[in-house]
Structures are given as structure tokens and as C-alpha cells.
């Protein structure tokens, strides 16, 4: 068996993005990545899709932290400030654990703690258990 962090660390997309799970607790997940030149758009700032993917990864950690396979139902993101090369963090908190439909808020910040984006998302908890021993 493995941990929830191990499952995410083996995820091909997470590796391609360059992100990593730094914290997982029940109803909470924190993910980090370094914005590199390959993540920049034509304007020289971090592509919105990269920021969304990082936020979605944090959502996945928080949503699956209760041991049940949970998939996203919807997500909305608001970009508040451009992200430049350097560290980005996505911190997801479960605002409502409504049985099968958790509601999660994700805050994306840069290395100085400046708020870059806010995402809200809900998921659907399936019946099947995740095959994990723990979270970290």
C-alpha cells in the first residue's frame, strides 16, 4: 500500500507539470510548483492553464483525503494577479463536506504569499475506497 501523496507523486500529469504535494490532511491539500520558462504564455507570465492545473491538483488532494475516490464536478477560477517565474502554491480547503459532494476553495499564491487566483470546485465522492495507508 501507499499514501495519498504517493498516488499523486506517481501521477504522470503532476510530474509533467512539475508539481508536488507538500501537505495533506483530512479536507486539506497543499501543492507546490516552480514556474519555469516552459509555463509562460505569449505575455511572459504563467499560463492560466498551468495555474488552473495546479489548483485542480490541490483540489484533488483535499477531495480525496477522506479515502474515497472523488472526481471534480465543476470548477471556477478567478485570476487576480499575474504569476511570474518562481514558486507557486495552491492551498485547498474543504469548505463543506456534504457527504458525496464536497465543496472546496483553493487559493493560489506566489512565493511572497501574494494571492494569484481563487478557485471554487465541487466533487463527487464515489463508493470505492482509495487503496492508501495514509495521507503523507
- What number is the average pLDDT over the span 50-60? 98
Using a pLDDT cut of 70, give the percent of the chain over it.
Answer: 99
Reduced to 3 states, what is the DSSP secondary structure of residue 114? coil
Reduced to 3 states, what is the DSSP secondary structure of residue 11? coil
Using a pLDDT cut of 90, give the percent of the chain over it.
Answer: 85
On the question of pLDDT at 1 being above 70, the answer is no
Task: Specify the pLDDT at position 134.
Answer: 83
What is the spatial distance between Cα 88 and Cα 31, in angstroms, rounded to a whole number?
8
What is the spatial distance between Cα 117 and Cα 82, in angstroms, rounded to a whole number?
9
Characterize the bridge pairing of strands 28-35 and 86-98: antiparallel
Degrees to nearest 5, angle at CA 111 with 107 and 113: 50
Amino acid at each position: 500500500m501507499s499514501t495519498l501523496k504517493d498516488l499523486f507523486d506517481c501521477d504522470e500529469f503532476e510530474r509533467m507539470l512539475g508539481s508536488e504535494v507538500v501537505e495533506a490532511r483530512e479536507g486539506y491539500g497543499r501543492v507546490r510548483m516552480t514556474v519555469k520558462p516552459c509555463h509562460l504564455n505569449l505575455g511572459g507570465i504563467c499560463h492560466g492553464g498551468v495555474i488552473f492545473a495546479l489548483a485542480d491538483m490541490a483540489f484533488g488532494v483535499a477531495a480525496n483525503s477522506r479515502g474515497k475516490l472523488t472526481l471534480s464536478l465543476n470548477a471556477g477560477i478567478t485570476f487576480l494577479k499575474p504569476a511570474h517565474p518562481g514558486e507557486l502554491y495552491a492551498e485547498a480547503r474543504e469548505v463543506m463536506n456534504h457527504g458525496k459532494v464536497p465543496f472546496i476553495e483553493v487559493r493560489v499564491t506566489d512565493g511572497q504569499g501574494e494571492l494569484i487566483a481563487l478557485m471554487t470546485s465541487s466533487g463527487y465522492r464515489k463508493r470505492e475506497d482509495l487503496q492508501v495507508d495514509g495521507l503523507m
